[in-house]
Structure 1
Amino acid sequence: MKFDLHTHHFRCGHADGNIRDYVEAGIAAGLHVIGISDHTPYFGEKEDQAFPRIAMGKSELVHYVDEVLQLKQEYEGKIDVLLGIESDYFPEHMPLYRSILSEYPFDYIIGSVHSVRGVSIFNKNRWKGLSKKEHIEVKEDYYRLIQDSARSGMFQILGHIDAMKGNYPPFSDIPATAVLDETLQIIAQCGVAIEINTSGKTKLSGGWYPSDAILERACHFGVDVTFGSDAHKPARVADELDTVAARLKDIGFTEWVYYKNKQRVSVPL
């Protein structure tokens, strides 16, 4: 059973192709399940599409959902098309996000922290001039937001949980083992999965999110894992899926999971 739960398309403004392109790419890659999970609109902003190169407009959400549901029916028997979405985690706006997203029949919601202290995690300049103490504080703030997202009950999957290293590889070396272990324990207790996201190869850090070191700790604490290419072009659907599965087995995982109708489905590795 092969699956990929993290894909984007043109509506977010920074991905290529339409949803059908990703479904067809999934079939070509031998997937049994393809999850469509474009970025949520910025519900907390006044404008319909506050950031056209980051996320879809609010008015597009219903069209997005309708298109995925239509393709789910069309491709039944060929590939299982799941309706997902990748939601930002903004604590101050979570009641609004929860209310809006509850109106749609999502198979799963990926919760991703993309911003810490009001600055994108991918902004290389955010680290300039910070002391070692401040580096630690920022990293701890990042993981505490991830902890809160796990506790929120909104998400089945947490996205790319060390992606802050993406454009700042030294992030991985900032000492914060205690908060990381605390985060993984909370994720396990909340029954939320983390994804192995292979899009890190497109950033300065290279490799996957999260690192093998984090995956080893996740295995120790009993955290569920899933797979997402985070494809922003159809050619990356299922990218490194088999390699990731082999690595997880080496680490000690025996299964990974995906979600349908927000119900956990276990798949042996």
Structure 2
Amino acid sequence: MKFDLHTHHYRCGHARGDMEDYIQAALDRGLDVIGISDHSPYFGLEADHPYPGLTMAKSDFAGYVQEMQQLKEKYKGRIEVLLGVESDYLEASAQTYQSVYEAYPMDYIIGSVHFVNGINIFDKTRWFGLGEKEILDVKEEYYRLIEKSAKSGMFQVLGHIDAIKGYFPDIANVPTDKVDQALRTIGEEQTAIEVNTSGKMKECGGWYPSDDLLERAFYYNVPITLGSDSHDPERIGDDLEEVRDHLKAIGFREWYFFRNKKPVAVPL
């Protein structure tokens, strides 16, 4: 069984195509399950659309869910379409986000840390002029937030858990026990992490997470899933077979997708 849980579309303002384009691409690539998981609005802020080009507007969310429900029905029997969302984990407003999601029939929610100390992790300028101690502090805060997101109970999947290396690859080599602490907690909470194949498009190259994190995730009994993080229909199911073979080589025997927030195990 083939699936891809991490996909975007035009509503976020930085992806190409509509939801049906991604479903059609999934069918063309022989997928059995496709999840749509566009960037959630900033529910914790008063403005309807404070960050155009990063996320959808709050006023778009109900329409997003409604269209997804229609597409589920339209493609029933051909491919299973899952309603997801990629949600920022913002500690101060986590309860607000959770209360919104509880009102909708979500199949799964991907929790991603995109901001550390108020600065986007993909902002290349955030690293300018930082010393070793400051870089370590950023990395440790990043993994503190990831651990906290796992404990929150909000998410079925944690997104790209080492994406902080995207435009600063050297941070992967900064040692800290906070990484293992986060992985241990994720395993205890039985929250899945994704192999996100979009990392190869950043300066770090390769997938998120790196091999050493995947091996440690296996040690801590962390469930695993797949997400291409497609912002273009052409990337649907990207590297699926390569990821599957790699996970089997590490020792994983199954991976998961989520239906009605319940895990569905799929043998590798």
Q: Same fold (TM over 0.5)?
A: yes
Q: Percent identity?
A: 55
Partners of 1:28 and 1:201 in 2: CA distance: 23
Q: How many residues align?
A: 268
TM-score by length of 2: 0.99
Deviation per CA, 1:38-89: give whole Å up to 9, x if none. Answer: 0110112222111110000011001100111100000001000000000000
Match of 1:190 in 2: 189
Aligned-partner SS, 2:153: coil
Kindly indicate whether residue 217 of structure 2 is the aligned counterpart of residue 218 of structure 1: yes
Unpaired runs of at least 5, structure 1: none
Partners of 1:46 and 1:268 in 2: CA distance: 44
Match of 2:98 in 1: 98
Partners of 2:142 and 2:175 in 1: CA distance: 13
Match of 1:152 in 2: 152
Partners of 1:211 and 1:109 in 2: CA distance: 22
Aligned-partner SS, 1:34: strand
Deviation per CA, 1:155-186: give whole Å up to 9, x if none. Answer: 0000000000111111111112x111111010
Deviation (angstroms), 1:134: 1.4
Match of 1:119 in 2: 119
Aligned-partner SS, 1:86: strand
Deviation (angstroms), 1:124: 1.3
Partners of 1:3 and 1:154 in 2: CA distance: 22
**What is the letter of the counterpart of residue 191 of structure 1?**
Q
Let me know the Cα RMSD of the aligned residues: 0.6
Deviation (angstroms), 1:225: 0.3
Deviation per CA, 1:120-168: give whole Å up to 9, x if none. Answer: 0111111111111111111000000000000000000000000001111
Match of 1:39 in 2: 39
Which stretches of structure 1, 4 residues or more, deviate above 6 A after TM superposition? none
Where do residues 49-128 of structure 1 align in structure 2 (5 Å cutoff)? 49-128=49-128
Partners of 2:174 and 2:190 in 1: CA distance: 27
Where do residues 231-250 of structure 1 align in structure 2 (5 Å cutoff)? 231-250=230-249
Deviation per CA, 1:221-261: give whole Å up to 9, x if none. Answer: 11000000000000000000000000001111111111100
**What is the letter of the counterpart of residue 154 of structure 2?**
M
Unpaired runs of at least 5, structure 2: none
